[in-house]
Amino acid sequence: MPTESLHITLAFLGQVEAAQFDAIVAAARSVQARRFMLRLDEPGYWTHNHIAWLSAAQVPEELTAMVAELRAALVQAGIGFDPKSFAPHVTLVRNARPPKEEWPTLNPVDWPVNGFALICSERDESGPYYRIAAGPFVA
C-alpha cells in the first residue's frame, strides 16, 4: 500500500449520495478530535479477502471515544454505516498470499494521531486510491 493510503476506518459509510455530504461533514465536525499514540503491534491476515493487516493489541481510550462520538453523530444525522464492532487495523497488502508459518516478530509501529478526516475511496485505471473529502479535523 502506498504510504498516503494507510488509514484506519472509524466508520465505513459505503456508497453515499452527494446530498448527504453536508450532513456527514457536520457529523464529523461535532466530534472532538484527540491526540494520542496508537501502537500497531499485531499482524494478521483475512482469508476471505486476502488482506494482510496490522492492528493494535491495546486500543487507546481516545480512539474509542472518537469512534463512539462519530458513530452517534452519524446515527443522529440519519447517515447509515457498517455497524460492525470497531476493530482498528491498517491494511498493509491487498491480494496477499496467506502466511505459510507463524508471523515473524515485528517491531511495533507507534503512530501519532491528532485527529481524523473523511476519506473517499475512488478508482482509476491504476486501481483504487483514497482522497481526503473533508478535514482533517484536528485536536
pLDDT value of position 94: 83
Mean pLDDT: which of 27-36, 102-111, 127-136 is highest?
Answer: 27-36
Confidence of residue 1 (pLDDT cuts 50, 70, 90): low
Going along the chain from its start, the domains and CATH numbers come out as 3-138 (3.90.1140.10)
Cα(139)–Cα(81) distance, rounded to whole angstroms? Answer: 24
Query: pLDDT tens, 46-75?
Result: 888 898 889 999 999 999 999 999 999 999
Report the predicted TM-score, pTM, of the whole model to 2 decimal places. 0.89
- Cα distance between residue 104 and residue 17, in whole Å: 43
DSSP designation for 18: G
Query: Given pLDDT bands bounded at 50, 70 and 90, which one contains residue 138?
Result: very high
State the chain's mean pLDDT as an integer: 91
Q: What 8-state DSSP symbol labels residue 19?
A: G
